[in-house]
Amino acid sequence: MTKKVQILMLTALVMILVSACGSTTETPISNPTMTEEEKVSEMTQTGFDPTYVEKEGVEVIYLAGGCFWGLEKLMQSLPGVVDVVSGYANGNADIEPTYNKVITGQTGYRETIRVEYQPKVISLDAILFAYFQVIDPTIKNAQGNDIGTQYQTGVYYTDETSKATVERIASIERARHEKFVVEIETLERFYDAEEYHQDYLIKNPLGYCHISSDEVNTISEMVVDPDNYQRPSEDQIRENLSDLQYKVTQNAGTESAFNNEYWDNHERGLYVDVVTGEPLFSSSDKFDSGTGWPSFTKPIDENTVRSKEDNSFGMVRIEVRSRAGNSHLGHLFFNDPVSPTGTRYCINSAALRFIPYEEMEKEGYGYLMEYVN
């Protein structure tokens, strides 16, 4: 064997050893040497999000709710949300989206935010109910003044636990409306939007937002966590309620005036949803309206009730329902001459359970005692 051949063989052996020592099982987020076919293959993987990094004690959910600027600002205001990123989700796998591509409405991508949150601080229930509080779930491909497929609403999950919660909350919200078009799907892929879209309303406080500042402030001051008051199954509800309670809460019935349990109750305490136990009203805000039904100036936490137009019986009224249970509670009236504030929540006793102040701690409502004067 010649000396030249020996040198070549030795060089090859060294190169093999160096290559073996430098090997790694870590897969790079983005490989600039990938072929176009390899890039498409990576983009079609379920849950593809090249910038997301898992963190201990942090979960993730993806929300599409029209223009992502406003939804980003809302979620940033919630305690327990640690990061929010605006981006594009669940479009054509052959397209790597940019804003200019997405606004054509031809990519299938939705303006979406990635919400990273600490479940020990804020529940997914709370995040989802906040989301549904500011969108119109009955409109397809539009929200606010924005129209186009990129503004389609959607909730996209990445694991089975989140899926169960998302589907449970969606079923409650679906029951509130005759039409429900929010996409409830697995996250397929997500790309960060351009840098100028990130924290847009922080950088541009006067920028466009289809979510009002009042809504952001109300939701950010949430006191009651809906995760603690989940709606029971239909069988459990039927078993737990009296005929009158079921008629009122599940079939939007009305009990008799002056012939119900709490219309003249003056005891100090808390009124909760009879179906879920979710706190609704404080005795501090109860007043004698002269109508024969329990009347309140406001809820204990504005986030625990929902209102919608009610055209039943030839009248135009505002129906009031509970957040977590979707129980029919009663109606909301403005410019009431007897109410100290002009606002009257006229509520059926059959939709409520009263908890005396002295029993609130034992019943698990001690955290609300400061709201019951």
Cβ–Cβ under 8 Å, residues 72 and 199: yes
**pLDDT averaged per 10 residues in sequence order, the chain, 373 residues:** 40 35 33 44 65 97 98 98 98 97 97 99 99 98 96 98 98 97 98 97 92 97 99 98 99 98 98 99 98 99 97 93 99 98 99 99 98 94
Domains of the chain: 36-222 (3.30.1060.10), 229-371 (2.170.150.20)
Three-state SS string over the chain comes to: CCHHHHHHHHHHHHHHHHHHHCCCCCCCCCCCCCCHHHHHHHHCCCCECCCCCCCCCCEEEEEECCCHHHHHHHHHCCCCEEEEEEEEECCCCCCCCCHHHHCCCCCCCEEEEEEEECCCCCCHHHHHHHHHHHCCCCCCCEECCEECHHHCCEEEECCHHHHHHHHHHHHHHHHCCCCCCCEEEECCEEEECCHHHCCHHHHCCCCCCCCCHHHHHHHHCCCCCHHHHCCCCHHHHHHHCCHHHHHHHHHCCCCCCCCCCCCCCCCCEEEEECCCCCEEEEHHHEECCCCCCCEECCCCCHHHEEEEEECHHHCCEEEEEECCCCCEEEEEECCCCCCCCCCEEEECHHHEEEEEHHHCCCCCCHHHHHHCC
Catalytic residue (one of 237, 280, 346, 351): 346
pLDDT of residue 32: 45
Residue with tokens 């997500």: 190
Q: In DSSP terms, which residues pair with 333 in a beta bridge?
A: 344
pLDDT of residue 313: 86
pLDDT in tens, 63-120: 999 999 999 999 999 999 999 999 999 999 999 999 999 999 999 999 999 999 999 9
pLDDT of residue 46: 61
pLDDT of residue 243: 98
Catalytic residue (one of 64, 67, 89, 184): 67
φ, ψ of residue 281 in degrees (nearest 5): -140, 150
Please say if 346 is a catalytic residue.
yes
Torsion of CA 59, 65, 66, 71, to 10 degrees: -60
